[in-house]
């Protein structure tokens, strides 16, 4: 247990609490709007045994979790670099991997808080019979939040400014999320795009969360478990290397 | 166990298409426990690079840096725990109040939650920021932000404090306040490494100094010894009637005349013999750090 790391975690949680309208309620408004549109347009349709609204609902929650987790540390670190307060991290007697983990855990916390509030606000309108695999759902949410939190840390440390962050979210992350099977099952895509989509790493996070919540898997859930596990490991290594390099220049 | 020991520290930078830059070249010196050590040198001398290596923000290309016998390269987390650093640039958190800045920063240095509030109150009182504790740090004036930076560096009660030009751009009252704090911390046993462009400040505060130029140490030791070694003390005097012949070696500086001191007794005898009742005032002057600095860095 490292007190310094937990103080840094508490500071980063406090930071997003201070701008809670932006960090927590903005994403919930977008989930509500998506649901309203899809509810009207696709009312009564099903994907396999799952009502489409429930299918897309889980996809949207996954998208929210991923977005919140990646943007929280990325924004905080880019702002910190612009202001010069990154020096606090360079001087603190906290190992670089702990610095990264503190930011990633704060990102996970924001992701879970956003997810929790979104569910509380919208679950009443969704035709969900219950949670198919509750334990797997908790684990998958934790892993997904941590994975994208660590990716956000690595990106925030690496990026020189907000242009890079805009590039990441607009040209890489959003297309990957939209093509990850958030709004449709990838099995419904024509060949070869259904195969190509399976190489989208985000698809496996969304697929696993949806499988745990509804019991419906858009692809083999065991493959998704392996992919998500490997990704978590790889992202942890990348984060450690980038944070070490940026906090202590050679 | 010395607070700081540098052995053959070198830092080089590779820049694309340009020759290798040596910012710090084979620097070695030690700081004794409980001393105030001045790190002086002109702009570009390598002081900031050296400070960032001592603080653990950059790794040296070669050589070793130890703080209280803990190697900064091999065990940076433990070594950084001894340190408090006031960086040259004033930077503050945008989102947090003064109190919150200190609360989380002290936590990052391992100060237990139960002790934090007491230390924050003490530091804020010490730096006359108590009435600003609930204000956002970004709204403070420049001088107050500087004081907050000092409070951050002191909050975990470090054994070794680094102040990188702490009085740059501050008013006279705050400069005096910072000097008082430095003297008090010194009296309490904190070892202090101090960089400044104000040489009279170094002269007032420092026990020992290191003079750097072009990345290398050009002189290091006790300030008094360096003053003794590097400069000739001089005799200054004023006359009622200035239009008189002068002995060899005497030259005019403004309204005064001066000549290098040989022996006080001999010099006084020469003055009274030559000028007698024409002498209005006499004083001797020790070598200033500024004159030594200019001699060595010229």
Measured between CA atoms, how close is A248 to chain B, in angstroms? 5
Q: For the segment B60-117, what is each residue's pLDDT rounded down to a tens digit?
A: 999 999 999 999 999 999 999 999 999 988 898 888 999 999 999 999 999 999 999 9
Of residues A198 and B68, the one with the higher pLDDT is B68
Euclidean distance between CA atoms A108 and A215, whole angstroms: 24
As given in the structure block, the two tokens for residue B245 are 């012949």
Q: Find which of B33-37, B247-251, B266-270 is predicted with most confidence, using mean pLDDT.
A: B33-37
Q: Give the pLDDT confidence score for residue A18 in this predicted structure.
A: 86
Euclidean distance between CA atoms B296 and A5, whole angstroms: 46
Backbone CA torsion sign across B165, B155, B52, A235: negative
Task: Give B132's DSSP letter.
Answer: G
Question: CB A93 to CB B81 under 8 A?
Answer: yes
Measured between CA atoms, how close is A146 to chain B, in angstroms? 21
**B60-95 burial: b if 16+ Cβ within 10 Å, else e:** bbebebbbbebebeeebbebbbbbbbbbeebebbeb
Alpha-carbon distance values, A72 to A13, A153, B101, B290 (Å): 10, 9, 19, 50
Q: For the segment B132-184, what is each residue's pLDDT rounded down to a tens digit?
A: 999 999 999 888 999 999 999 999 999 999 999 888 877 888 888 888 888 99
Q: For the segment B38-51, what is each residue's pLDDT rounded down to a tens digit?
A: 998 888 888 999 99
Measured between CA atoms, how close is B249 to chain A, in angstroms? 54
Nearest to B57 among A4, A15, A91 (CB): A91
Measured between CA atoms, how close is A181 to chain B, in angstroms? 37
What does pLDDT average to over chain A? 88
As given in the structure block, the two tokens for residue A25 are 């309620």
Strand partners, B164: B195
Q: Give the pLDDT confidence score for residue B104 in this predicted structure.
A: 95
Q: Give the pLDDT confidence score for residue B7 in this predicted structure.
A: 95
Residues of B with Cβ-Cβ distance to A76 under 8 angstroms: none
Q: Give the pLDDT confidence score for residue A87 in this predicted structure.
A: 93
Question: CB A93 to CB B96 under 8 A?
Answer: no
Exposed (0-12), middle (13-18) or buried (19+): which is B110, by Cβ within 10 Å?
middle
DSSP secondary structure, chain A, as one string: --HHHHHHHHHHHHHHHHTHIIIIIHHHHHHHHHHHHHHHHSTT-EETTEEHHHHHHHHHHHHHHHHHHHHHHHHHHHHHHHHTTHHHHHHSSS-HHHHHHHHHHHHHHHHHHHHHHHHHHHGGGS-----S-HHHHHHHHHHHHHHHHHHHHHHHHH--SHHHHHHIIIIIIHHHHHTTTSSS-GGGSPTTHHHHGGG-HHHHHHHHHHHHHHS--SS-HHHHHHHHHHHHHHHHHHHHHHHHHHHSB-
As a whole-number percent, the residues of chain A with pLDDT over 70 amount to 98
Strand partners, B257: B237, B252
Flag whether pLDDT at A56 surpasses 70: yes
Q: Give the pLDDT confidence score for residue B230 in this predicted structure.
A: 63
Are the C-beta atoms of residues B230 and B296 closer than 8 Å to each other? yes
Domains along the sequence of chain B with CATH:
4-222 (3.40.50.300), 231-297 (3.30.70)
- This prediction has a pTM of 0.85
Question: CB B108 to CB A85 under 8 A?
Answer: no
Euclidean distance between CA atoms B91 and B78, whole angstroms: 25
Backbone CA torsion sign across A178, A182, A183, A184: positive
Q: How many residues does chain A have?
A: 250
ipTM metric: 0.86
Model confidence at A111, pLDDT cuts 50, 70, 90, reads very high
As given in the structure block, the two tokens for residue A179 are 């093509």
Question: CB B57 to CB A249 under 8 A?
Answer: yes
Question: CB B80 to CB A93 under 8 A?
Answer: yes
Q: For the segment A26-53, what is each residue's pLDDT rounded down to a tens digit?
A: 778 888 888 888 777 776 677 778 888 8
Q: For the segment B201-255, what is each residue's pLDDT rounded down to a tens digit?
A: 888 888 899 989 888 998 888 887 777 676 567 788 899 988 888 888 787 877 8
Which residue on chain A is closest to B92 by alpha carbon?
A85
The B-side interface with A (CB below 8 A) comprises 55-59, 76-81, 83, 85, 87, 89, 91-96, 100, 104-110, 112, 152
Max CA distance (Å), chain A: 60
Domain ranges in chain A?
Answer: 3-247
Euclidean distance between CA atoms B38 and B195, whole angstroms: 6
């Amino acid at each position: 247990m490292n007190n310094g790391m937990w103080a840094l975690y508490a500071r980063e949680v406090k930071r997003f609490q201070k701008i809670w309208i932006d960090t927590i309620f903005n994403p919930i408004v977008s989930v509500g709007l998506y649901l309203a549109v899809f509810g009207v347009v696709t009312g009564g349709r099903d994907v396999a045994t799952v009502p489409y609204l429930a299918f897309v609902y889980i996809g949207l929650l996954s998208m929210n979790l991923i977005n919140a987790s990646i943007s929280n540390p990325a924004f905080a670190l880019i702002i910190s670099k612009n202001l010069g307060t990154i020096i606090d991290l360079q001087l603190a007697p906290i190992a670089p991997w702990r610095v990264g983990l503190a930011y990633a855990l704060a990102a996970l916390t924001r992701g879970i808080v956003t997810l929790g509030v979104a569910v509380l606000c919208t679950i009443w309108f969704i035709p969900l019979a219950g949670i198919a695999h509750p334990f797997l759902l908790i684990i998958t949410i934790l892993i997904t939040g941590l994975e994208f939190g660590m990716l956000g840390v690595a990106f925030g440390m690496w990026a020189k400014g907000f242009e890079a962050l805009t590039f990441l979210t607009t040209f890489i992350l959003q297309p990957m999320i939209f093509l990850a099977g958030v709004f449709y099952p990838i099995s419904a895509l024509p060949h070869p795009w259904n195969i190509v989509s399976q190489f989208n790493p985000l698809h496996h996070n969304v697929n696993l969360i949806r499988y745990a919540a509804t019991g419906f898997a858009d692809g083999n859930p065991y493959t998704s478990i392996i992919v998500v596990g490997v990704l978590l490991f790889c992202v942890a290594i990348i984060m450690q290397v980038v944070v070490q390099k940026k906090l202590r220049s050679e | 166990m010395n607070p700081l020991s540098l052995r053959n520290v070198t830092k080089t930078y590779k820049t694309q298409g340009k020759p290798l830059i040596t910012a710090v070249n084979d620097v070695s010196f030690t700081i004794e426990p409980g001393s105030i050590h001045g790190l002086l040198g002109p702009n570009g001398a390598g002081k900031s690079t050296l400070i960032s290596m001592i603080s653990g923000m950059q790794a040296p290309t070669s050589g070793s840096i130890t703080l209280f016998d803990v190697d900064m390269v091999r065990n940076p987390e433990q070594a950084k725990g001894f340190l408090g650093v006031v960086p040259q640039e004033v930077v503050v958190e945008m989102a947090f109040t003064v109190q919150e800045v200190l609360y989380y920063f002290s936590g990052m240095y391992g100060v237990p939650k139960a002790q934090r509030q007491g230390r924050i109150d003490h530091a804020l009182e010490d730096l006359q920021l108590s009435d600003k504790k609930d204000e956002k740090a970004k709204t403070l004036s420049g001088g107050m932000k500087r004081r907050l930076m000092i409070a951050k560096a002191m909050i975990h009660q470090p054994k070794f404090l680094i102040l990188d030009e702490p009085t740059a751009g501050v008013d006279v009252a705050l400069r005096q306040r910072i000097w008082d704090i430095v003297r008090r911390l010194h009296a309490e046993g904190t070892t202090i490494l101090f960089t400044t462009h104000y040489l009279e400040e170094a002269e007032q505060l420092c026990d020992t100094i290191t003079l750097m130029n072009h990345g290398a140490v050009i002189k290091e030791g006790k300030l008094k010894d360096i003053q003794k070694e590097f400069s000739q003390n001089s005799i200054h005097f004023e006359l009622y009637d200035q239009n008189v012949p002068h002995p060899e070696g005497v030259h005019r500086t403004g309204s005064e005349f001066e000549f290098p001191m040989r022996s006080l007794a001999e010099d006084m005898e020469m003055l009274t013999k030559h000028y007698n009742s024409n002498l209005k005032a006499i004083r001797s002057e020790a070598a200033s750090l500024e004159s030594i600095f200019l001699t060595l860095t010229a």
